[in-house]
Homo-oligomer: A and B are copies of this chain.
Amino acid sequence: MAAPGQNNTILSVVVMTMADTQKPNSLRKVVNKCNSFILPGSTRPGCLVFYVNSVAVGLIRQDILKQLKAYPDVFILNDKEKGDQGQPRGLHLSQDLDTFEKRTKKIEQVLRSLQQKDALVSLRGWRDECYSISTGFGVEPLLKVERAAACLFGVSQYGVHVNGYVVDDFGDILMWIGQRSRTKQTYPNMWDNLCAGGLSSGLGVEECAIKEAQEEADISEEHLENLQAVGCISYMYEDERGIFPECQFVFDLQLPDDFIPRNTDGEMQDFKLLPVNKLRELILNEDFKPNCALVIVDFLIRHGILTPDNEPDYTYLVEMMHISHRSYITDPATVATAQ
């Protein structure tokens, strides 16, 4: 871990207001990266809506559809405008699976079968951790699936991220960031927030943030009294594994000067305390895991470091960090709908 000198800190706000905010290598690139699925060139136009119990819950890509077609008793394909039973166009989980338990069990069987065939790269990362599937956060889940498989069905995934920060004697903000372990399955060695994690089925949101803070950065109960929910960010990207509509609940945690994080679960290899202008450099150099960069951009906006007067893409950044998954999942041809 390394702490910067006070001199660097004083420079931070000045640097932020300079012309470098207009460089082609802009923060716009970061929010676009996290929204690759909804931007031109994505696989979106070819995707099918995934229905469970006649409710749209996700999106299925053609490469993944090809694999799921091998299980026609589980996944019913309606590729006409109206299917045989008057159902909308899309991939429907069999109506015979009429309870949470039946759906969960049958999908797990299919996924284990696909894993044995090594048909889908995402299943190489099986975690034995389950995510709930429903039509929105807090809505009664229809089933749960293995975390590594959520991207196959393009269903919303939820997580928590904690911004740990210190305010120095000059009133300037320094932020604690963590470097992901070399052996992490995803984004090894990249920079991350102080602590973060996926929201597993059944856990409260603050409860999850506290658990991650204790495991990933050894933060004491006393320090966690300052933990504050400050909003959520949402975006949609895709990669070779599948489609990721993600929503991260964000927490701010002001820490005392003398606090030093310590990783206890092997997920982080290092921590650094950096002034905000240094964070911006790391973000633009793409040294951060992309969604962690987004969490920091949101922090810089909420704390008045990026402003409408010094950041030309201000409104674009804010909008693209708060995408409505429902509007893309429910009906790709219209936009938001009331729930």
A336 contacts B39, C-beta separation under 8 Å: yes
B40 contacts A231, C-beta separation under 8 Å: no
B337 contacts A307, C-beta separation under 8 Å: no
Kindly specify which of A103-111, A143-151, A327-335 makes contact with the partner chain.
A327-335
B318 contacts A322, C-beta separation under 8 Å: yes
Contacts A231-B301, A335-B335; A323 near B319 (Cβ below 8 A)? yes
Interface string of A245-285 (1 = CB under 8 A from B): 00101000000000000000000000000000000000000
Interface string of A305-329 (1 = CB under 8 A from B): 0011100111110111111101110
Residues of B within 8 A of A205 (CB): 307-309
The residue of chain B having its C-beta at the shortest distance from the C-beta of A318 within the complex is B232
**A229–B228 CA distance with the chains assembled, in angstroms:** 19
The residue of chain B having its C-beta at the shortest distance from the C-beta of A308 within the complex is B205
Q: How far is the CB of A333 from chain B (nearest CB, A)?
A: 6
Residues of B within 8 A of A308 (CB): 137, 205-206, 229, 232, 249
Q: Is A82 an interface residue (CB 8 A)?
A: no
Q: Is A55 an interface residue (CB 8 A)?
A: no
Residue among A316, A323, A336 having the largest count of chain B Cβ atoms under 10 Å: A336
**A247–B138 CA distance with the chains assembled, in angstroms:** 28
**A11–B332 CA distance with the chains assembled, in angstroms:** 44
A338 contacts B39, C-beta separation under 8 Å: yes
A137 contacts B232, C-beta separation under 8 Å: no
Q: Is A7 an interface residue (CB 8 A)?
A: no
Residue among A304, A315, A319, A320 having the largest count of chain B Cβ atoms under 10 Å: A315
Q: Is A32 an interface residue (CB 8 A)?
A: yes
Residues of B within 8 A of A28 (CB): 339
A314 contacts B138, C-beta separation under 8 Å: yes
Residues of B within 8 A of A204 (CB): 309
**A234–B336 CA distance with the chains assembled, in angstroms:** 14
**A154–B38 CA distance with the chains assembled, in angstroms:** 24
**A319–B333 CA distance with the chains assembled, in angstroms:** 19
A319's contact among B229, B314, B316, B324, by CB below 8 Å, is which? B324
Contacts A322-B319, A324-B319, A338-B32; A314 near B38 (Cβ below 8 A)? no
Q: How far is the CB of A43 from chain B (nearest CB, A)?
A: 14
Q: How far is the CB of A252 from chain B (nearest CB, A)?
A: 8
A320's contact among B249, B332, B336, by CB below 8 Å, is which? B336
Q: Is A102 an interface residue (CB 8 A)?
A: no
Q: Which residues of A contact B (CB under 8 A)?
A: 28, 32, 35, 38-40, 136-138, 204-206, 228-232, 234, 247, 249, 301-304, 307-309, 312-316, 318-324, 326-328, 332-339
